[in-house]
């Protein structure tokens, strides 16, 4: 369905120029730094230079589409900065789900009546929208799952358990979310394959200089995150795809954080699998996507058994439905898929390029503002990183920080962010993380900085 208004109309190009500077973000504590003057590239001190980003759309109008954002928490206007965990939902998505239940609800594919046809059309047209959104060549490449986690498990079970054995290697990275670690640990345990990790550099980007040591003739699959849920770092997937191709390995990309934030084109990436979640890109919970090359899907065994995924069933045997339905056992999340379709319409109206630009500028601005706080450590500083800012303030536990910020109506996440191996690389058990989306404002970032300063004062810093 269409948004109720043109969410992209009246756009002005963001008048925000990122000044040349030495990277402000440190991997060590900022305690030695002046709170008002930061080192410029020439070594002269300067304060925040760039100013707040100008959104390329009418931000107030966009925010009115998100009912949850206009609430108050503890008497203060909500500042929602936990977008890496899940995004808020616009009215257009909520309305699409409601309308589906009011006008089209029936089970899909089997009904020989009009209502059933409506449900099937709504569900299958959402699949086509997803295919177009990530530039998949064939809509049959799109499998609806519950989310990224299920999509990765699908590959580990339906491909991995039938194709790997002792002597084979699975390569992941130290930057992964647990969803892209545990399925491979289980697969390695069950098949005898080895699980290896691409290391990180000192500045917490992927260390690609000895890639040929890690991507070898034994590597059968490389599974890596496109954009880190902790740092927001965007990894150079295309380079890694080329290396993997050279040894005949498959590539799975965890797109849980990338697909919501910038244009992702599977043809351009050249990956074999891409997993992502609807709920992080304005869609409902309970729906996600596995994109996979159709020839791989044809050759793979089913994941779950049950209705919908079969063609014929005998007492001892069965044959499988065509793809993609071979991988969608049972009644699917129909309304949620319809909601995801509406979410894609909304994102397309804004434009994924403009979403990416604004997110980047917002993240840059937050780095500048937060890096002026005494005794703060902001982790990671890859130039490609966006949408996420993990930090700690000396002497304040991240959970205390999140709780104190909550009192100010500011929602951030504290913990290991389901990335314990990465936390170990950082040498910490947890961080506080602010993560942004296109509906966030620079004023909200100013409030975050103010909230952190108040927390420091409260804790006697
Ligand atoms: N991969 C990445 C990179 C993620 O960020 C997440 C969720 C997942 C996989 C799992 O997605 P799901 O929809 O299947 O749960 N990340 C986060 C987070 O950073 N905080 O809460 C969930």
- Whether 256 lines ligand 1, by a CB cut-off of 6 Å, is yes
Q: Quick one: pLDDT band at residue 289, thresholds 50, 70, 90? A: very high
Evaluate whether 28 touches 427 at the Cβ level (below 8 Å): no
Q: Is the CB of 196 under 6 A from ligand 1?
A: no
Q: pLDDT tens digits, residue range 365-383?
A: 999 999 999 999 999 877 7
Task: Please confirm, yes or no, whether 418 is among the known catalytic residues.
Answer: yes
Angle 66-71-72 from CA coordinates, rounded to 5°: 155
Q: Where are the domains of the chain?
A: 35-88+352-458, 92-348
Looking at residues 203-209, what average pLDDT do you find? 92
Per-residue pLDDT at 15 exceeds 60? no
pLDDT of residue 380: 86
Q: Which of these ranges, 41-45, 75-79, 81-85, 357-361, has the smallest mean pLDDT?
A: 41-45
Out of 3.40.50.300, 3.40.640.10, 3.40.1280.10, 3.20.20.70, select the CATH number for domain 92-348.
Answer: 3.40.640.10
The pick from 256, 290, 340, 416 for probing ligand 1's pocket by mutation, whose C-beta has the most ligand atoms within 8 angstroms, reads 256
Of the CATH numbers 3.30.465.10, 1.10.569.10, 1.25.40.10, 3.90.1150.10, which one belongs to the domain with range 35-88+352-458? 3.90.1150.10
Confidence (pLDDT) at 381: 74
Answer yes or no: are the C-beta atoms of 415 and 430 closer than 8 Å: yes
- Nearest-5° Cα angle at 453, 452 to 458: 95
Ligand 1 pocket, 149 CB below 6 A? yes
User: Is the overall model pTM greater than 0.85, yes or no?
Assistant: yes
Q: In angstroms, what is the span from residue 418 Cα to ligand 1's centroid?
A: 8
Work out the pLDDT band at 49, boundaries 50, 70, 90: low
How many angstroms separate the CA atoms of 358 and 77, rounded? Answer: 22
pLDDT digits 0-9 by tens, 311-367: 999 999 999 999 999 999 999 999 999 999 999 999 999 999 999 999 999 999 999
Residue nearest to atom 21 of ligand 1 (CA): 85
**Atom from ligand 1 closest to the CA of residue 226:** 3
Instruction: Say how far apart CA 376 and CA 398 lie, in whole Å.
Output: 12
Inter-axis angle of helices 334-350 and 352-370, nearest 10: 80
Q: pLDDT tens digit string along 210-241?
A: 999 999 999 999 999 999 999 999 999 999 99
pLDDT digits (tens, 9 = 90+) for 147-187: 999 999 999 999 999 999 999 999 999 999 999 999 999 99
């Amino acid at each position: 369905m269409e948004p109720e208004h043109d969410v992209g109309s009246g756009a002005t190009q963001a008048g925000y120029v990122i000044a040349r500077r030495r990277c402000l973000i440190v991997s060590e504590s900022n305690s030695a730094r002046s709170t008002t003057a930061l080192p410029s590239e020439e070594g002269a001190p300067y304060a925040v230079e760039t100013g707040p980003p100008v959104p390329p759309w009418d931000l107030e109008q966009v925010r009115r589409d998100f009912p949850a954002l206009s609430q108050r928490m503890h008497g203060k206007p909500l500042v929602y900065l936990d977008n890496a965990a899940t995004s808020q939902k616009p009215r257009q998505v909520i309305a699409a789900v409601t309308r589906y239940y009011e006008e089209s609800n029936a089970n899909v594919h089997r009904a020989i009546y009009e209502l059933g046809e409506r449900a099937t059309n709504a569900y299958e047209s959402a699949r086509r929208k997803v295919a177009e959104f990530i530039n998949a060549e064939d809509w049959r490449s799109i499998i609806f799952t519950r989310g990224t986690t299920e999509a990765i498990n699908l590959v580990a079970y339906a491909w991995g358990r039938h194709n790997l054995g002792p002597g084979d290697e699975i390569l992941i990275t130290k930057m992964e979310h647990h969803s892209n670690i545990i399925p491979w640990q289980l697969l390695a345990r069950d098949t005898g394959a080895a699980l290896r990790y691409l290391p990180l550099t000192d500045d917490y980007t992927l260390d690609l200089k000895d890639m040929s040591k890690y991507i070898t003739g034994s590597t059968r699959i490389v599974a890596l995150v496109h954009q880190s849920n902790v740092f927001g770092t965007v990894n150079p997937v295309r380079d890694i795809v080329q290396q993997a191709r050279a040894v005949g390995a498959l590539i799975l990309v965890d797109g849980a954080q990338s697909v919501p934030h910038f244009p992702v084109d599977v043809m351009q990436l050249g990956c074999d699998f891409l997993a992502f979640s609807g709920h992080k890109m304005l869609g409902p919970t309970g729906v996600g996507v596995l994109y996979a090359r159709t020839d791989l899907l044809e050759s793979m065994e089913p994941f779950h058994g049950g209705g919908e995924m079969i063609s014929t069933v005998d007492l001892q045997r069965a044959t499988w439905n065509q793809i993609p339905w071979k991988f969608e056992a049972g009644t699917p999340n129909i309304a949620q898929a319809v909601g995801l379709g509406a979410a894609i319409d909304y994102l397309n109206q804004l434009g994924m390029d403009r979403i990416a630009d604004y997110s980047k500028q917002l993240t840059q601005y937050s780095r500048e503002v937060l890096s002026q706080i005494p005794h703060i450590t902001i982790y990671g500083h890859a130039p490609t990183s966006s949408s996420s800012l993990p930090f700690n303030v000396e002497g304040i536990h991240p959970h205390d920080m999140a709780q104190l910020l909550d009192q100010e109506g500011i929602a951030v996440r504290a913990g290991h962010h389901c990335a314990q191996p990465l936390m170990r690389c950082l040498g910490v058990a947890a961080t506080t993380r602010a993560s942004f989306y296109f509906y966030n404002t620079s004023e909200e970032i100013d409030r975050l900085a103010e909230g952190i300063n108040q927390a420091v004062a409260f804790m006697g810093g």
